[in-house]
Structure 1
């Protein structure tokens, strides 16, 4: 299972999540404590937003702990919104095109989790993509494919509903083709303005997600596991939830799968 961290707030140096904390993302790439796989050595990546709408991106196949360029970039870049990821591969070879985050237009996306029997579902899922989104698929992972399907399902206009429709589509496809379905899905995605995250699983083992304040100005980070030992600083996001970080602060909503074009609402604000 992968590890990731994301931030939205006043500009912050990327190293404040990636390399500086006691349990930074680089440290998690060596020794994750709340994942089935403790080592995440199959590449890493960053996506960050600055003066232009499209995100900058840096990815490589080296383990995060062994790349001096990652530490240098994280030390120099200050940004109000970024996503960072270290990979433990479940589907897709160890190559740069399979490293998160993935980007399309102004959107960025990263994921921790898996689709059972993806190798049998992949062809049908790819056939669901229209020509434009199929042409934007460079890697071979389930993560990138789900991201592009969400873009096709209307992520620009309704990001969380589109993601709920993708999960609903994959679950139904798996039930129809395999006779069972299991999707474990904890993801973060952004259009450069708001930051979204989802924690969901068809079983009781949704990949972990935590939220915590960062800095003195109302910024927040979302992480696979806490960056420090201060347990009071971190709140675990329940499974079946979506998180929205925007100018209105941090909001949590209930989240569940939908079939594409289903009319009932996908989200209800959690109390």
Structure 2
């Protein structure tokens, strides 16, 4: 499984999430607390928004803890909206194209979880992506397919509904051709103005997600694990919940895939 962290609010340096905290994303890449695999060393990535509508993107296959370029980028770049991810592969190759976040136009997306037995229905899943979007299919992960399916389902118009329908389609393929767990999902995504997060599982084990408002930073952090072991104010996102963060406000709705 993987670990990720996202931020929206007043601009901060990326390192304030990625490398500086005691349990930063880089620390979680070495030793995660709430993950099936404590080490997440199969690549990393960060997507950030600035003055252009499309996000900047930096990904590589090295473990996050051993790449000095990541620390340098995080030290110098400020952003009011970014997504960062460290990867533990569930079967697909270790390659830059398989590292999260994934981007298309102004959208960015990252995921922790799996569609069970994806290797048995990858062809069928790929065929769910329209010809108009298939050129964005660079890697071999279930996460990238889910993102492109959601774009096809109308992510711009209805983020909640588009993701719900896409999760249902992928979970159905797992039930027909794959294996358990059919769907485990914690994801964060953004259009450059809003940020969304979701936590869901087809069984009773949903990947962890926490969120917290920081008065000092004037922003929201949404993470796989709290960034400081002794920091108060972190709230666990309930399983089966879709969250929207927009203009300093937060809203929650139930997330049930539309089978």
Q: Which residue of 2 aligns with 1:132?
A: 132
Q: Which residue of 1 aligns with 2:55?
A: 55
How much does 1:254 deviate? Answer: 1.2
Distance 2:221 2:84 in 1: 11
- Deviation per CA, 1:31-76: give whole Å up to 9, x if none: 0011010000000000000000000000000000001010011011
Distance 1:125 1:32 in 2: 30
Distance 1:164 1:13 in 2: 33
Which portions of structure 1, spanning 4 or more consecutive aligned residues, are displaced by more than 6 angstroms? none
Q: Which residue of 2 aligns with 1:176?
A: 176
Alignment check: 8 A CA contact 1:91 1:142 kept: no
Alignment check: 8 A CA contact 1:91 1:140 kept: no
Distance 1:177 1:95 in 2: 26
SS in 1 for 2:88: coil
1:39-188 mapped onto 2 (5 Å cutoff): 39-178=39-178, 182-188=182-188
1:202-241 mapped onto 2 (5 Å cutoff): 202-216=202-216, 218-230=218-230, 232-241=232-241
TM-score normalized by the length of structure 1: 0.92
Distance 1:178 1:12 in 2: 42
Distance 2:8 2:124 in 1: 36
Which deviates the most, 160-169 or 48-57? 160-169
Distance 2:185 2:151 in 1: 17
Corresponding pairs, count: 259
- Deviation per CA, 1:79-112: give whole Å up to 9, x if none: 0000000000013100100000000000000000
RMSD over aligned Cα atoms: 1.4
Distance 2:105 2:55 in 1: 8
Alignment check: 8 A CA contact 2:2 2:87 kept: yes
Alignment check: 8 A CA contact 1:150 1:166 kept: yes
Distance 1:29 1:180 in 2: 26
Unaligned runs of 5+ in 2: none
How much does 1:171 deviate? Answer: 2.1
How much does 1:130 deviate? Answer: 1.3
Alignment check: 8 A CA contact 2:181 2:203 kept: no
SS in 2 for 1:233: coil
Distance 1:179 1:31 in 2: 28
